[in-house]
Amino acid sequence: MKINEVETLVGITKKNIRFYEEQGLLSPRRNSQNGYRDYGEAEVSALRRIKLMRKLGVPLEEIRQMQSGVHTVGDGMRRHLVSLERERQNLADAARLCAELTDSHERLDHLDAESLLARMEQMEQEGTTFMNKQKQDTRRRRYVAPVLMTVLMAVLMAGLIWLFLWSFDTAPAGAPPLPRGAPPAARCWRCL
């Protein structure tokens, strides 16, 4: 099967299938004639198992260890249940704190954030992990510089192309003079 057929059959995008290949979770055969990946029932079954585990939230490394036989499915699920239970407790602690704040009728600019942050820090020392959304707040900015440089380079390249086209189309008489001291051959390239 080709990747498009596998995508339709399993319900995983081509991008995800290639990602799982890069991660070593899947290794389809290559067609010797054209070099394309050739997927069989073994790869389809493996992708279904990967899809199941990812829908349960199992990390890629845990899937890799189950695939290699280092852990059984039971071992992997026990480890994953521990992390899920930890997440559930963290969410319950965050929900309790949010529920306490629902009774607050004060405006945000009057909220005693310092004491609440100190309380959260104490809870974190006791094992609670809160979501840190401020890490996500800076991800968007990471793409500004590359996009800006790409646009700048495109404008620069367009300007250079225009300059070359203009110089090929302009007669030597209409062109600006070359600096003094240039050899005669450099003054008139069309005269050669």
pLDDT in tens, the chain (192 residues): 888 999 999 999 999 999 999 999 998 888 878 878 889 999 999 999 999 999 999 999 999 999 999 999 999 999 999 999 999 998 898 888 888 888 888 888 888 888 888 888 888 888 888 877 655 555 555 677 788 889 999 999 999 998 888 777 776 666 666 666 555 555 555 555
Nearest to 47 by CA among 62, 68, 63, 69: 63
Distances (CA, A) of 104 to 50, 92, 95, 109, 110: 45, 19, 15, 13, 11
To the question of pTM greater than 0.75 for the whole model, the response is no
Evaluate the CA torsion angle 164, 169, 173, 174 in order and state its sign. Answer: negative
The predicted structure's pLDDT at residue 175: 64
- What tokens appear for 56 in the block? 């349960």
- What tokens appear for 147 in the block? 């996009």
- The CATH fold assigned to 3-68 is Multidrug-efflux Transporter Regulator; Chain: A; Domain 2 (1.10.1660)
Measured distance CA(10)–CA(26) in Å, rounded:
14
Domain boundaries, the chain: 3-68, 73-134
The predicted structure's pLDDT at residue 33: 82
DSSP state, 140? G
- What tokens appear for 79 in the block? 């480890």
The CA-CA-CA angle for residues 129, 135, 141, to 5°, reads: 175
The predicted structure's pLDDT at residue 70: 92
